[in-house]
A and B are shown apart, each in its own frame.
Chain A
Amino acid sequence: MPVYGVSHVDNLRVCVVMVGLPARGKSFISQKIVRYLSWLSIATRSFSVSSYRREEYKLQPTADFFDPANIDGLHIREQATDDALKNIIKWMNEENGCVAILDGSNVTKQKRQLVCQVLKNHKIEPIFLESFCDDETMVNSMMLDINATSPDYTGKSSKYATEDLLTKINYYKKYYEPMDLADEKDLSFIKLINVNSQIIINKIESYLESRIAYYIMNLHIKPRYIWLSRHGESQYNLEGKIGGDADLSERGMKYARKLKDLVAQYIPNHENIEVWTSTLRRTNQTAQFLPNPKKQWKALDELDAGSCDGLTYDEIEREFPEDFKARDENKFEYRYRGGESYRDVIVRLEPIIMELENQENVLVITHQAVLRCIYAYFMNVPQEESPWMSIPLHTMIRLEPRAYQTIVTRIKADIPAVSTYKEKGTSKLGESSNGGNVMAGEVISSSSSGSAGTASGHAVV
């Protein structure tokens, strides 16, 4: 199915070309764009020039390699850009890619003209994204992150890495030409100066590109957590029914009370967080004991099961056998009769994600399918997998978005609840023991106060 989610232009192919010195957050921004657009089902991939350099030439070079006087180094780096571009074109042609990100430094005007030309020849719209930063503190904090995570410095000491990176940056500075309007006013570009303190947006041509720009403007790099929870166990959960607008069960009500303690115990500055719920009774009842300001969002309502609303999976299998099968075969795309698909849910969640990126402290209390979608965004879970993730009841989830990954911690409330997880090909509920329910990319770690064994809840290890 073709996706026109964020573009009215046919067959639009865009390449975001990153520009900037090392340690300017280019890879971070690239990763974020990939995450956001893939989540919206727009085929997006990042092509890192340095990884081509590493793969093709097996190089983990020292700073000298980047000295403009080093002809070999220059040649190899040009070759790596060529390789990345070739792969972008191949990917777009053969796999219907829509947005590619050329994650490299592209620091000279000549290089940018060249890249622009190659892309245009292949009917790919280039949009340059420069991260310009001359604020030393910002650069230093980004450098620390790179030292810890860059494959160029695997196995090297932090002191060595810092010195080497600084030398490398200085070499780059010798030929760095920031983007300017005198020579490059015909290029589409976004220039971020000291993260977001100044922004230049030039010649944005399509709605898709403007969404990318808007998204980048909403990003911030302050450390923060996002807290998620499903509603407490509901009457419908007990009866194995889906959808509906049921009240909480007795155990669900216990969780609602416990949630107040969990929030107080685990969330730093919990008095400042805002609680977001859906408009349905079960999430509002779950939030009712929290003293925090609350916001109800229709967009957080559970996936609408249409004609199947209020039925058990057994009943659905009996009454709508074809639908039951079709849904198992492509759960992401399957739209319940008169209801919604996972894709539909993602479309309506987009404004929520945008606001979540902008916010600092939020606890979201919502439903299984909606949480799967939110979770998929932060954890980069592919759409074939996301509808099958298990998100148990009576568990608070903490997400910590970092530059290269999001770290997840689950805090279990120790209140029993039924499982609402349904595996493929069966109408029975409950997780099987073979681990098919593990969420992709997840790191489960225990929170220190939780594992101290207090009676009021413990973290899963």
Chain B
Amino acid sequence: MAAQVNNDIAEIEEPKIPGNYSARKQNRWIPATIQLSSNEDLTSSQELLVAPRSPVLNNRVSTASSHHHEDVDEIHKRISKFHVSPAQLYSTDSGKLYHAGSICIVLVGQPARGKTNLSISLCRYLRWLGVRANLFHMGDYRREKTNGLPHEFFDPKPESEEAAKARQELTNMVINDMVTFFQNDMGQIAIYDAVNGISSQRLALAKTLNDKQIKAVFIESLIDDEELLERNIADAAKSPDYLNWEENEAIADYKKRIEMVNRAYEEMNEDELTYIKFINFGERLFINNSKHDFLTTKVISYLMNSKIKSGSIYFARCSNNKLKFKSDPPIDDKGKKYATDLSATLLNHFESMGQSSFPKNMVVWTSARLRTTQLADVFKKHGLRVRHRPEMTQMNPGDAEGLSDDELQAKYPVDYANHNLDPYHHRYPRADSYHDIALKLEPLIMEMERMRNDILIIADETILRVFYGYLMASSCTDIPFISFPQEEIIKITYNAYMNKAFRIPIKDSDKS
């Protein structure tokens, strides 16, 4: 009976629009020829595509493989045509997300308004969402071209013809590179980080982009809080421009630069442009002409939540990782011991930074499973707030649960092959993929962005990989293999130019 019915079932049709695939489909954007034709010249990332690997045995490859750049924030890596992002929802005909077309996010603002930080963190979020975004910092172009820093260069309306020409040349270079990114590299969002302080130049830029069917969205960073500005100037004087400078001299020089810009700077109020004023790092937003496009709304929502962080993110694994997905036993003695060691190590870490206890505002996030909630009880005793988030339940292995590599290959030959090709997006029957987890965690990532203080995340390795992948801008080829040994706490600190990860070994509290 069942077999008859099956005959009636047509194979599920391939989507009519090529590329509009679900997460289940792999090789999005990777033309088949690329994988097959490059046998002679195997690069390390292609090796990854063909190396047989079991989902259950991921750990074994994590350290050996050459592609693995452990604990490096990859946000400044230019993404290639074949880049696939962690939370990539789907792609349209053009390889773009959200049917939103090409967008150029143009930063506007005087120096020391946090434009570069803002552009980096926005790029991190957008890439993670699956938008093909690249950063274009005017500063990088300038440093490449000039060695010294003639202040005149920073004058938006330079007096000498030579300086004006040099400026224009650099601007044209950036614009050309952005257009190339859109036209040849399937880029969707270019983030253009420069002062862009003159109204007529902004209008001209919008027109140039518009003529190429690229929508310009301006984000102007403004600070009207003096104290905040001073702090930011001190930070900015540590930028690559001032690599070997005395701090005071650097600050003085930087202030000169700001003065130069201020003379001609014109705040945005062009009615016809779509712009967002981002004031005092998100204390206030003013949005003009939002036109309701989903991607712009996402950007605004991100800007609303993006806060300057003072804390760090800590990752710890749960006490027992060998449990079946469906079982949920209370933690055993070994787990209790692990809880004690974990909290002692962490406390010790805070003490080494000169604090007498856990930071008062620290929050602990766990899944809703006993293996993490009971583990967190020890932190409750220290007075920390503990939040259970069902979204953080470990990856469901589905029908692949408990099967060895060989068994998987025998039982699901097609799935097995597909899984090896794309371990990030592939899911075994009834299982979650990493991609599924990334989508589920998106609201939590947003909440994490809003929190200024320390967060300890206790979860299964599969969940930690996704959080880590966001914070360190890892690519999806790497995420399934990031390793979190049971006996380590991972600490990630937010830094202006790139995030940094540290590993803290968990000490056995009985032995110390």
Contact = CB atoms under 8 A, between A and B. Distances in A.
To the question of whether A and B form a pair in one complex, the answer is: yes
A298 B297 contact: no
Interface in A364-384: none
A213 B368 CA distance: 28
A8 B89 CA distance: 27
A199 interface: yes
Interface string A298-313: 1100001011000000
B95 to A, nearest CB: 15
Contacts of B390: 340, 343-344, 347
B284 A247 contact: no
Contact of B326 (A204, A338, A350): A338
A235 B5 contact: yes
Contacts of B8: 250, 253
Interface string B8-26: 1110110111001011100
B502 interface: no
A71 interface: no
Nearest to B11: A288
A337 B326 contact: yes
A288 B11 CA distance: 9
Contacts of B451: 8, 207
A197 B290 contact: yes
B289 A198 contact: yes
A218 B292 CA distance: 7
Contacts of A204: 304
B388 to A, nearest CB: 8
Interface in B354-409: 363, 368, 385, 387-391, 396
A279 B446 CA distance: 25
Interface in B125-150: none
A10 interface: yes
B399 to A, nearest CB: 9
A10 B447 contact: no
Nearest to A206: B450
A343 B294 CA distance: 26
A285 B325 contact: no
Given A306-B326, A337-B326, A347-B390, A293 B17 contact: yes
Contacts of B289: 197-198
A70 to B, nearest CB: 37
A4 interface: yes
Contacts, number: 145
B432 interface: yes
A79 interface: no
A288 to B, nearest CB: 5
Contacts of A299: 439-440
B301 A214 contact: yes
A414 interface: no
B219 to A, nearest CB: 14
Contacts of A200: 284-287
A224 to B, nearest CB: 13
Contacts of B5: 235, 247-250, 253
A347 B389 CA distance: 10
Interface string B282-316: 01111111111010010011001100000000000
B301 A291 contact: no
A428 interface: no
A249 B390 CA distance: 34
B283 to A, nearest CB: 6
Given A217-B297, A247-B6, A350 B443 contact: yes
Contacts of A298: 23, 432-433, 436, 439-440
Interface in B418-454: 427, 429-430, 432-433, 436, 439-440, 442-443, 446-447, 450-451
Interface in A348-398: 348, 350-351, 355, 358
Contact of B387 (A8, A198, A288): A8
B2 interface: yes
Contacts of A338: 324-328
B90 interface: yes
A247 B1 CA distance: 12
Contacts of A247: 2, 5-6, 9
A353 B261 CA distance: 45
A31 interface: no
B443 A351 contact: yes
A196 B12 CA distance: 41
A8 B363 contact: yes
Contacts of B439: 298-299, 351
Contact of B15 (A197, A294, A343, A348): A294
A296 B304 contact: no
Nearest to A217: B297
A199 B17 CA distance: 36
A185 B280 CA distance: 13
A291 B15 CA distance: 9
Interface in A282-332: 284-285, 288, 291, 293-296, 298-299, 304, 306-307
A213 B10 CA distance: 45
Contacts of A90: none
Nearest to A350: B443
Nearest to B453: A8
B20 A295 contact: yes
A402 to B, nearest CB: 19
A202 B287 CA distance: 11
B326 A10 contact: no
A220 interface: yes
A295 B294 CA distance: 17
Contacts of B305: 207, 210
A279 B297 contact: no
Contacts of A281: 12
A225 B440 CA distance: 26
Nearest to A244: B430
Contact of A248 (B9, B327, B436, B443): B9
A286 to B, nearest CB: 10
Contacts of A307: 326
Contacts of A61: none
A68 interface: no
A298 B24 CA distance: 9
Contacts of B324: 338
A199 B286 contact: yes
Given A8-B387, A249-B5, A199 B301 contact: no
B432 to A, nearest CB: 7
A295 B288 CA distance: 32
Contacts of B22: 279, 294-296
A440 interface: no
A339 interface: yes
Interface string A184-216: 010000000000111111111001001001100
A384 to B, nearest CB: 20
Interface of B: 2, 5-6, 8-10, 12-13, 15-17, 20, 22-24, 89-90, 283-292, 294, 297, 300-301, 304-305, 324-328, 363, 368, 385, 387-391, 396, 427, 429-430, 432-433, 436, 439-440, 442-443, 446-447, 450-451
Complex A-B, nearest 9 residue pairs according to Cβ-Cβ distance, in ascending order: A338-B326, A296-B22, A298-B436, A199-B287, A201-B285, A214-B301, A210-B304, A202-B284, A344-B390
27 contacts: A8-B363, A8-B385, A8-B447, A181-B284, A197-B288, A198-B287, A200-B285, A200-B287, A201-B287, A201-B300, A201-B304, A202-B283, A210-B305, A213-B301, A217-B301, A245-B429, A279-B427, A285-B12, A288-B10, A296-B22, A298-B436, A299-B439, A338-B324, A338-B325, A338-B328, A348-B391, A348-B440
Given A8-B387, A248-B5, 17 more contacts: A198-B288, A198-B289, A198-B290, A210-B301, A210-B305, A210-B450, A214-B304, A218-B294, A235-B5, A285-B9, A293-B15, A294-B20, A295-B22, A296-B23, A304-B396, A337-B328, A348-B391
Interface of A: 4, 6, 8, 10, 181, 185, 196-204, 207, 210, 213-214, 217-218, 220, 235, 245, 247-250, 253, 279, 281, 284-285, 288, 291, 293-296, 298-299, 304, 306-307, 335, 337-340, 343-344, 347-348, 350-351, 355, 358
